[in-house]
Chain A
Amino acid sequence: GAGVSQSPSNKVTEKGKDVELRCDPISGHTALYWYRQSLGQGLEFLIYFQGNSAPDKSGLPSDRFSAERTGGSVSTLTIQRTQQEDSAVYLCASSRTGTSGGARETQYFGPGTRLLVL
């Protein structure tokens, strides 16, 4: 079946502009995650959705970052007034249920959106 898809694949923007990154999770997956991957930093957790709710937003680096999920499916990560330090690969992952009954469901990652802020 289809995996996690993300769009756009690449985004170049000017400092100060807003950007929207989209994630289409695997159909039927209720849990959705956003991560950021920077050179030398590894993957950093940003936010977790269960359905349309975001019980854990602890990784969002500033109030310029926000995310929403609608219909329990598509999610959008918005970065307002982009800065050069926002340049990174933004990865989305989904899992069937998240953590359930002590077992952790596999997170399936999309290919990422490469964001470059000039």
Chain B
Amino acid sequence: QKEVEQDPGPLSVPEGAIVSLNCTYSNSAFQYFMWYRQYSRKGPELLMYTYSSGNKEDGRFTAQVDKSSKYISLFIRDSQPSDSATYLCSSGGFGNEKLTFGTGTRLTIIP
């Protein structure tokens, strides 16, 4: 079993819809949770970063972490065609430089 599990999709939604992307993790030591966005043939770029449980909002993006259920979510409101990309969740432990990534969910926003 991978330490971070993510549905690879692909996921297609119409423009303007709310998108929900999810991951689960198994390592209780994970304290840091990130979402990266990766466009085709580019490196991943950090989208959202959360420490421990809770919600974080940045514009149209909301990240949620529920440590009790080991569940990580990313919500995208008013989705745009430019949001079409692969979204990677990742987690890390305190004092450990290694990040563990999910396999990524490929998202397409249909105009």
Binding site for B on A (CB under 8 A): 4, 31, 33, 35, 40-45, 48, 50, 55-56, 58-59, 91, 93, 98-99, 102-104, 106-112
Tally A-B pairs: CB < 8 A: 62
Q: Which chain B residues in 34-48 approach chain A with CB under 8 Å?
A: 36, 41-46
Of B8, B43, B51, most buried by chain A (CB within 10 Å of CB) is B43
Bin chain B's interface residue count: 20 to 34
Cβ contacts under 8 Å, A108 to chain B: 45-46
Which B58-111 residues sit within 8 Å CB-CB of chain A?
88, 90, 92, 94-104
Give A48 to B100 CA distance when docked, in angstroms.
Answer: 13
Bound complex: CA of A50 vs CA of B96, how far in Å? 12
**Are A104 and B92 in contact, with the CB atoms below 8 A?**
yes
Q: Closest residue of chain B to A39, judged by CB?
A: B103
Binding site for A on B (CB under 8 A): 4, 6, 8, 32, 36, 41-46, 49, 51, 88, 90, 92, 94-104
A110 and B98 contacting across the interface, CB-CB below 8 Å: no
Q: Report whether A42 and B103 are in contact in the complex, using a CB–CB cutoff of 8 Å.
A: yes
Q: What separation, in Å, do the CA atoms of A103 and B103 have in the docked complex?
A: 25
Tell me if A's interface is mostly helix, strand, loop or mixed.
strand
| Besides A43-B88, A43-B101, A102-B94, 18 new A-B residue pairs in contact (Cβ under 8 A), listed by A number | A31-B97, A40-B8, A42-B6, A42-B103, A42-B104, A43-B90, A50-B97, A56-B96, A56-B97, A91-B43, A91-B44, A93-B43, A99-B96, A104-B92, A106-B49, A109-B44, A109-B45, A110-B43
In the assembled complex, 17 residue pairs joining A and B whose CB atoms fall closer than 8 Å, in A order, are A4-B43, A41-B103, A42-B4, A42-B104, A43-B99, A44-B101, A45-B98, A48-B97, A56-B98, A58-B98, A91-B44, A98-B97, A104-B49, A106-B49, A109-B44, A109-B45, A111-B43
